[in-house]
Structure formats: C-alpha cells, structure tokens
Amino acid sequence: MTVEPLAEPAATTRVLFVCWGNICRSPTAEAVMRRVVDDAGLGAVVEIDSAGTSGEHAGDPPDRRAIAEADRRGLDLRHLRARRVRPDDWQRFDLLLVADDMVERALLRDVPDDGARAKVHRMTAFGPDAHIADVPDPYYGGSDGFERAYELLERACHGLVEHIRARHG
C-alpha cells in the first residue's frame, strides 16, 4: 500500500487510532504515540486520540493485559476510556489509522465521501513494518500477543512521527 503525503502542512496533525473495541490496540497506540510525539518535541503539532468501530466496550478502561504491558513499558493506560468512532471524527482527524482489515471495512461503511476515505491507513503504514497489514488482535490470546502488538505499534509510531516531522519541517 502506498501512503500518499498529507495534502498540505497544517498547524496540527490529528491522528485517530482505531481498533474494534478500543480496549487493546488503539489505546495502546494512543499512549505510545503520545510518548513518541512528546520525545520528538512535536506535542504542539500533533493531536492524538483512539476509538473503536464497535460500541460494546464504550466507557470501559483498556483491557487489563494491555494495561499490564503498558506498565512494563512505562506507560499508563488507566485514564483512557473506550469510545466508538463518531461521525465528526471524519472531519476532525487528518489520519484514521486502523488495526486490521475487519476494522477498516467496518470504518469505511460510514465514510462520508471519497476524500475522507483517503484519510484511512493501517496503523503500520508509516513505519518499518508497512508490509505487515494487521496489528493482530491480542484480546483472545495471552500476554505474548499484547507484547507483540506493543512492539509493532511502537515501531509504527516512530515511523509516523518521522512522517509528521517531515511534513512540519
């Protein structure tokens, strides 16, 4: 998949990470991206959030195993709460980064127009693992799945920050 550059530099790049329930992959990506953005000194030009295509966990904290893996890596997910993607997210965000094919299909069912469709990419699209289309859902597995997801997301976030840095100069 070829990733097109964002149209033109804006004051802020707004990124929404999207997985199925917003309790494993997308809140982890949100927290990792916040740290990578802060470490890169780009906090003033990047807005980050996460959501799910399903509302079944709305209001819930992240999965306890995602919290444990984040704790091991020095991140705290406890303040995050799951939410479903809202119609206004299509206008608010520049990039909607999906975890896998199922999430992408669900998200695109509600795409308002072809222009908005161009905002949708895989979470891994900007990093060294762009050849890996999916961040596997660790929900039904053990802690090793959360470790693998974290590692993929960390590399992806570093690549995304480099993409954003190039955009903002």
CA 72 to chain centroid, in Å, comes to 20
Please write the tens of the pLDDT for every residue from 45-58.
999 999 999 999 99
* Domains of the chain and any CATH numbers: 18-168 (3.40.50.2300)
**What pLDDT, on a 0 to 100 scale, did the predictor assign at position 77?**
97
Mean per-residue pLDDT over the chain, rounded: 93
CA 58 to chain centroid, in Å, comes to 17
Residue 157 makes CB contacts below 8 A (sequence gap 6+) with 29, 32, 33, 36, 127
Q: Are strands 46-52 and 120-122 parallel, antiparallel or unpaired?
A: unpaired
Catalytic residues: 19, 25, 137
Please write the tens of the pLDDT for every residue from 141-153.
999 999 999 999 9
**What pLDDT, on a 0 to 100 scale, did the predictor assign at position 100?**
98
Distance from C-alpha of 66 to C-alpha of 130, rounded to nearest angstrom: 23
Query: Binning pLDDT at 50, 70 and 90, where does residue 169 land?
Result: low
Distance from C-alpha of 113 to C-alpha of 123, rounded to nearest angstrom: 21
Q: Are strands 95-98 and 13-19 parallel, antiparallel or unpaired?
A: parallel
pLDDT at 154 over 80: yes
Distance from C-alpha of 104 to C-alpha of 90, rounded to nearest angstrom: 14
Is there a contact between 124 and 135 (Cβ–Cβ < 8 Å)? yes
**What pLDDT, on a 0 to 100 scale, did the predictor assign at position 168?**
76
From the number of C-beta atoms within 10 Å of its C-beta (0-12, 13-18, 19+), residue 64 rates as exposed
**What pLDDT, on a 0 to 100 scale, did the predictor assign at position 5?**
52
pLDDT greater at residue 158 or residue 167: 158
Please write the tens of the pLDDT for every residue from 107-141.
999 999 888 999 999 999 999 999 999 999 999 99
Global pTM?
0.93
Is there a contact between 84 and 52 (Cβ–Cβ < 8 Å)? yes
Please write the tens of the pLDDT for every residue from 9-39.
457 999 999 999 999 999 999 999 999 999 9
Strand arrangement of the beta sheet that strand 46-52 belongs to: 46-52, 13-19, 95-98, 120-122
Please write the tens of the pLDDT for every residue from 74-112.
999 999 999 999 999 999 999 999 999 999 999 999 999
Q: How far is CA 55 from CA 20, 59, 80, 145, in A?
A: 9, 9, 15, 23
